[in-house]
Amino acid sequence: MEHGTRRILMQRAEELIRTRGYAAFSFADLARAAGIRKASVHHHFPTKETLGCAVIEDYLHRFTAELSAVWHAVPDAPGRLRAFAAFFTSSAMAGMLPLCAALAAQRDSLPPSMRHQTAAFFRLHLSWLESVMAEGIAAGTLRGDLPASVLARRFVTRQEGGSLLEWGLGEAPGGTADGVHADDVLHDLLPRDVRAGPPDHHRKT
C-alpha cells in the first residue's frame, strides 16, 4: 500500500506540474488531489524538492523507454519523427503541457537539483533526435544541407515552443502542439526533391 501511495502522489504531482506549474501547488493541494492526509505526503516526500526530483526521474525513465521503443519499432527517420511529435499531441489532448516545457517555463523557481534534471531532460530530447536526423540524412530521407544537430534543435523547438504558444493562447490541440500536423512540420526537414513533389504534367501553360 505504501508503494501504491507513493506512486499516486507522483502521478498527481506530475499532473499539477504540467497544468499549474511547480511553484503553483502546495503539499496541501497535492494531498487533496491524491485524497490523503497532508502528513502522508511528508512521510513519502520530506520536501517539495525531493518530490519534484522523483517526478522528473520517473518521467525520464519512462520517456527513455518510449524513445527506445520507437527507435526499434519504426524503421525510418520520418516515421520516428512523427512518433516523437505524437508525444506532444498526446499531452495537448490530455490538457497538459509536456513536462519539459512546464519545468523550463518556471526554471528560476526550481531548486538547483531540478534545474539540472530539466537540462538533462532537454539533452535527452536533442541527443535522440540528433541520432534520428543523422540516420535520416545518411539514408537520404531527410535534408542534408544542415547538420543533424541543427535539425534536431529545430524540430524540438517547434514541438516545445508550439506547446507553450497553444497553452498561452488557450487554443484547442491540433495535429501537433501548435496546431500544425506532424507531416507539415516534418515537411521542412525532407530533401528538396521530396518536398517539391512530382512535376504536374497536367498543368496548363
Average pLDDT of span 201-205: 39
Domains of the chain, each with CATH number or no CATH: 48-196 (1.10.357.10)
**Residues 81-112: pLDDT tens digits?**
999 999 888 888 888 999 998 999 899 999 99
pLDDT value of position 205:
35
Predicted model pTM: 0.82
pLDDT value of position 198:
41
pLDDT tier, 184 (very low <50, low <70, confident <90, very high otherwise): low
Start-end of H helices in 74-202 = 77-93, 99-105, 112-139, 148-169, 182-187, 192-196
- Cα 166 from Cα 180, distance rounded (Å): 11
**Residues 2-25: pLDDT tens digits?**
579 999 999 999 999 999 999 999
Rounded to 5°, the CA angle 15-120-31 comes to 25
pLDDT value of position 196:
39
C-alpha torsion 184→186→189→191, nearest 10: -80
Listed range (25-29, 132-136, 153-157, 185-189) with the worst mean pLDDT: 185-189
Written as one letter, the residue type at 26 is S
Q: What whole-number percentage of the chain has pLDDT above 90? A: 64
| Listed ranges 12-16, 98-102, 160-164, 184-188; the one with the highest mean pLDDT | 12-16
